[in-house]
Amino acid sequence: MSRSVVSEIRRNHINELLRKGARMDGRGPLELRDISVETGVIDTAEGSARVRYGDTEVMAGVKMAIGTPFPDTPDKGVLTTSMELIPMAHPDFESGPPGGDAIELARVVDRGIRESGMVDVEKLCISAGEEVWMCFLDIYALNYDGNLFDAAALALVSALKTAMAPASNFDKGEDFPLPISCLPVTVTVAKIENTLIVDPTFDEDMVSSARLTVTTDENGDIRAMQKGKSGSFTVDEISEIVDLAREKGEEIRKIIG
């Protein structure tokens, strides 16, 4: 994401609008873009979802297979998350191995799923120490207009929520829905000058000084956080962002039922 530079004129325009509480796409500072979620879009995947946050578009797919557990967690299934910023999605994305941004994205989305305990991995054990379900969670950004953190997380949560373990293909009884214990939702807030905005677009992300991504659960508890960029937040701003993440998370959770 390094090549793009927002022109000085656009930067000033974004700043001036925000001082009046407005944004280029007509939203208020704390308003989300239109979010759409389609699930079950890929027949070859055990679960899949295509999510749009405005012009940001993401696909997530879940594939499952049987494998051996890690030695230190013999009775737990395995989750592996990858995120590809394919060059189709943005003129700045390049082919090749994932860079720092893609790695951070994948790891933050992964932690949002893993640390929240969304998937009950103990129920994915077939025979302790021998056979467990391996879940490959693969995310592709199809079109990038900012805030991939939230779109990718929502796509993955939606794909997981609707995934069916293909047990019958492996002679392990009937197919069953992935065991889901909670619905973590991720909300990213950016800081431009001294204003906090939710769900930043690409241009807003370029102009912002700092970013905070917060994953919360149904109870409003915090499950994962990641601050980004070289700017800073005050302790009060962080507390305000956490509250925002809980509120907007509840709003988004309604979309995916």
Residue numbers at the binding site for other proteins (CB under 8 A): 2, 41-45, 48, 55, 57, 59, 61-63, 65, 82, 84, 86-91, 94-95, 97, 100, 103-104, 106-107, 111, 115-117, 136, 138, 140, 142-145, 212, 220-235, 238-239, 242-243, 246
DSSP 87: G
Whether the CB-CB separation of 139 and 152 falls below 8 Å is answered with yes
Choose between 20 and 149: whose C-beta lies nearer to other proteins.
149
Choose between 20 and 219: whose C-beta lies nearer to other proteins.
219
Strand partners, 81: 137
Q: What CA–CA distance (Å, rounded) separates 133 from 122?
A: 10
Choose between 145 and 150: whose C-beta lies nearer to other proteins.
145
CB of 76 to other proteins, least distance (A): 12
CB of 142 to other proteins, least distance (A): 7
Q: Which residue from 214, 217, 211, 210 is spatially nearest to 231, judged by alpha carbons?
A: 210
Burial of 72 (0-12, 13-18, 19+ CB in 10 A): exposed
Whether the CB-CB separation of 131 and 193 falls below 8 Å is answered with no
* φ and ψ at residue 117, rounded to 5 degrees: 65, 25
CB of 90 to other proteins, least distance (A): 6
Choose between 5 and 20: whose C-beta lies nearer to other proteins.
5
CB of 31 to other proteins, least distance (A): 20
CB of 218 to other proteins, least distance (A): 12
CB of 81 to other proteins, least distance (A): 10
Choose between 23 and 46: whose C-beta lies nearer to other proteins.
46
Total length of the chain = 257
Lookup result for tokens 């793009």: 4
Choose between 21 and 218: whose C-beta lies nearer to other proteins.
218
Fill in the amino acid letter for 190. A
Q: For 232-238, which contacts have Cβ atoms below 8 Å and span 24 or more sequence positions?
A: 233/191, 237/191, 237/196, 238/212
